[in-house]
Amino acid sequence: MVPIVTLTSDFGSQDHYVAALKGVLLQLAPKVILVDITHEIAPHNVLQAAFTLRQAWPWFPRGTVHLVVVDPGVGTGRRILAGQYGGQYFVAPDNGVISLVHQAMPAEGVHLVENRSFFGRVPSATFHGRDIMAPVAALLTRGGSLREVGPPTDRLEVLPVPRPTILRDYSIHGAVVYVDHFGNCITNIPRADLTTALIRNPLAEVSVAGRSIGPLRNTYGEVPIGSPVPLVGSSELLEIAVNQGSASRALGLSVGSQVVVCAGPRDRTR
């Protein structure tokens, strides 16, 4: 199979940084397929990058190498990691950007990137993505092993991602963790937790900023255009949306906004 390298960064599309990354990869692995996951991560937003990577990587074939360059600590003493999960490889700074992958699946190996013989040049203190991470990613596409890049480690930086809380009345308190291009607000409440609330009350309602926006739906189109709609999206997490609109803008939501699923009393008429 032709090797695949995905790229995730906060570089944007205006400057030369993405092209430089790709140039290094194509020099060292000319047959590689390069896939841009996104270069529009907000500058220095490690949590946004971690969530994006977590949602994208399971859909790639085994052997794919994921190169993540959202690196606000570049040039400091922060470490660089190369890891393997689910038969795929990840090369990234040790700043929590792969921690959601690490929490979701057992690691098949995580190593520190320390073997300077694989660095393409004397590394720039401000562009380790080009001078250290890209050469290591290329090595892995050519069949190189994690052992070659440096010693193993079992210590990774972990992002402090909030977890939802289920109360005794089966209501769920969570928060928005990601806002997508459409203004859909994705929360940290998984489908499994919602199932618990719905068993208690199939008409459980969702509230944001102290305002009820109705019961859970299956599709955006179940409410009128411009109306808010809570549903489980493709991420398998509770999502707050507006039919053909932006929930973030219409409801004033952003990362960290509180979301409550109110299970309420069981219907006693049944």
Per-residue pLDDT of the chain (270 residues; tens, 9 = 90+): 889 999 999 999 999 999 999 999 999 999 999 999 999 999 999 999 999 999 999 999 999 999 999 999 999 999 999 999 999 999 999 999 999 999 999 999 999 999 999 886 789 999 999 999 999 999 999 999 999 999 999 999 999 888 999 888 888 999 999 999 999 999 999 999 998 778 777 778 999 988 999 999 999 999 999 999 999 999 999 999 999 999 999 999 999 999 999 876 544 333
Q: Could you give all domains of the chain from N- to C-terminal order, each with its CATH number?
A: 4-149 (3.40.50.10790), 165-262 (2.40.30.90)
pLDDT reported for residue 119: 85
Q: Nearest CA to 20 among 29, 11, 31, 33? A: 11
Q: What is the pTM of this model?
A: 0.90
